[in-house]
Structure 1
């Protein structure tokens, strides 16, 4: 079978839809379309949907992997965003060298979705 696919987008949950939209915008994702229940964001040539839908177990097991040029710089920038207090349930961890070869800054969005900001040329 050949689906002749042209794009693949994932859906992520939000516990507070407006807060999640603001969080992803603060991280530099571009809001390209939204209605009352769904928001489409673009980042680095890819897209994902944030939806007004929340299931705790799903949110806390949902992950997005994002390749970045500098995981340490991402950590600093996100720490500054979180220091504003706008996103009290979001958090970030210091970059960690993973055994598969990436330096990764882990970020949890306002409802617990885990973002892996992975720098692949780390040594």
Structure 2
């Protein structure tokens, strides 16, 4: 078996708000069906689904690797109108990270690796 890609399905408490949030982060949004869309940034892709399970969403963690953590922080800190929260840049042994909780409670580790 050869693996080409792994894609996650992210649940949405509010499907339309989540689409706007990810678009504001720079993702291209394309409908796959009435209840599913594909979010793409360069070669990176994931799905948003019109489905919500609180326990799953609030325990979901993802890592978004970026080339410039300061640029990512600038973008994140200027997002308005979304039910999100984030922490400042933290230094870890493996790189710099911003913890960003999306509109459905999903936790993103926005990371610039060493």
Give TM-score scaled by structure 1 length. 0.85
Aligned length: 114
Q: Which residue of 1 aligns with 2:89?
A: 95
RMSD: 1.3
Conserved 8 A contact 1:67-1:117: yes
* Cα deviation digits, residues 69-92 of structure 1 (max 9, x gap): 1212211211111xx3x20x2112
Higher strand residue share = 2
Post-superposition Cα deviations, 1:5-37, rounded to whole Å, max 9, x if no partner, equal 332211111000000011000000111334221
- The runs of 5 or more residues in structure 2 that have no matched partner are none
Q: Which structure has the larger Rg over C-alpha atoms?
A: 1
> Equivalences for 1:17-56 in 2 at 5 Å?
17-56=15-54
**What's the counterpart of residue 111 of structure 1?**
104
* Deviation beyond 3 Å, 4+ runs, structure 1: none
- Name the structure 2 match of 1:5: 3
Shift of 1:53: 0.9
Gaps of 5+ in 1: none
